[in-house]
Amino acid sequence: MFRELLRHPDFLLIDKSPGIGMHEENGAPGLVTLVREATGLALYPVHRLDKMTSGLLLLARHPEANRALSQGFAERRIKKQYLALSDRRPIKKQGLIKGDMKKGRGGSWMLTRSQDNPAISRFDSSLVREGLRLFRIRPETGKTHQIRVALKSVGAPILGDERYGGTPAERGYLHAWRLNFTYGGEAFDFVCPPEVGEAFLLPETRLAIEALAP
């Protein structure tokens, strides 16, 4: 479900497991409720991860921290990096993906050519082995399904992300890998390699992740 990484006086940092949503779904408690129950802490989610996404999640421990951290995300002072795997060859191996997003069918989203309020993602990638590529994504905005739509737009839907055309797998291969920010005058830089998913745990994938520049 989750792994506690840091209990700060103002926030809790966890490693979220894939396959669990942030909030209640079909009567089952969501991640935030489960973490509250397990830790006994009053917690406030300051950002969110999709159900299929694993990795670093920051939860504020009181309203003042919630406001400060939420503002940090809104003003793009909290920097995020994600890892993803795809078994498709992208039309470009690195660069910028930018465009407005609009709702499609059944809860999906689409990237458009307009630039009124664009989703912005920068990415680079490396070949893990034939038929498997590792992507590092730096989203500069926080739109719903932004990274999933971005990689689909370059012809490399995320492995396991069937909503956006990815090849079926035992999980969706998207992971919140790194967070860095300054809070209360202290600099924080957290890195959390993925621990769930056969393709993430391949020796070649682990080496490719370790080779990423800081």
Q: Give the CA radius of gyration of the chain.
A: 17
Q: How far apart are the C-alpha atoms of 210 and 187, rounded to whole Å?
A: 22
Does residue 205 contact residue 128 with C-beta atoms inside 8 Å? yes
- Share above pLDDT 90 across residues of the chain, in percent, rounded to a whole number: 92
Ordered DSSP codes for 75-110: TT-SEEEEEEEESS--S-SSEEEEE-EEE-STT-EE
What does residue 28 show for φ and ψ, rounded to 5 degrees? -90, 140
pTM of the predicted model over 0.85: yes
- Which of the following is catalytic: 50, 116, 124, 189? 50
Q: Could you confirm whether domain 2-210 is CATH 3.30.2350.10?
A: yes
Average pLDDT for 175-191? 96
Residue 15: active-site member: no
| pLDDT tens-digit map of 89-131 | 999 999 999 999 999 888 899 999 999 999 999 999 999 999 9
H or E element: which one contains 4? strand 2-7
Q: How far apart are the C-alpha atoms of 120 and 138, rounded to whole Å?
A: 9
Give me the chain's average pLDDT, please. 95
Average pLDDT for 42-47? 94
Flag whether pLDDT at 213 surpasses 80.
no
Question: What residues does each domain of the chain span?
Answer: 2-210
Burial class (CB in 10 A: 0-12, 13-18, 19+), 139: buried
Output b/e per residue, 167-192; b: 16+ Cβ within 10 A.
Answer: eebebbbbbbbbbebebeeeebebeb
pLDDT band for 214, please (50, 70, 90 cuts): low
Flag whether pLDDT at 28 surpasses 90.
no
